[in-house]
């Protein structure tokens, strides 16, 4: 698994949110790579380097947060799935997903262009 979409999402967050951050993800292998606890495949090294660059001069913690923990947390706060999945939230989620897809495509295009420029 390349985790490309996750890396690009984290890069977007780091580029757009200033200050110290806590990044949580339910993919344990991704968090281990980000924390330097596991080997990084060659295909992912450019993303890891970019993330390291964006983490300079601030504190960024990468934390594994299992899916069951996310759901349990919502239930503890009294949310039901019907309350969470409203038409407004679906519209916002669709808009956000479309925006992220567009950013992802643009970033991938730029990174491929940079990669080709380096390889030339």
| Structural domain containing residue 33 | 1-77
Q: What is the pLDDT of residues 46-96, one digit of tens each?
A: 999 999 999 999 999 999 887 666 666 666 666 665 555 667 767 777 787
Same-domain status, 66 and 96:
no
Number of domains forming the structure of the chain: 2
Same-domain status, 48 and 2:
yes
Stated pTM of the model: 0.58
How far CA 120 is from CA of 2, 43, 107, 112, in Å, comes to 24, 18, 20, 12
E strands present in the chain:
21-25, 60-64
* pLDDT (0 to 100) of residue 36: 92
Q: What is the CATH number of the domain that holds 20?
A: 3.30.420.10
Query: Parallel, antiparallel, or unpaired for β 60-64 and 21-25?
Result: parallel
**Which residues have CB under 8 Å from 48's CB, separation 6+?**
7, 33, 34, 40
């Amino acid at each position: 698994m390349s985790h490309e979409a996750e890396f690009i999402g984290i890069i977007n967050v780091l580029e757009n949110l200033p200050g110290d951050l806590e990044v949580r993800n339910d993919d344990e292998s991704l968090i281990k790579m980000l924390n330097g606890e596991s080997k990084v495949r060659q295909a992912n090294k450019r993303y890891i380097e970019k993330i390291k660059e964006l983490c300079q001069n601030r504190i960024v913690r990468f934390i594994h947060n299992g899916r069951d923990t996310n759901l349990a947390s919502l239930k503890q706060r009294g949310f039901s799935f019907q309350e969470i999945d409203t038409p407004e939230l679906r519209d916002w989620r669709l808009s956000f997903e479309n925006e992220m897809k567009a950013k992802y495509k643009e970033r991938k295009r730029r990174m491929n262009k940079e990669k080709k420029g380096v390889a030339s």
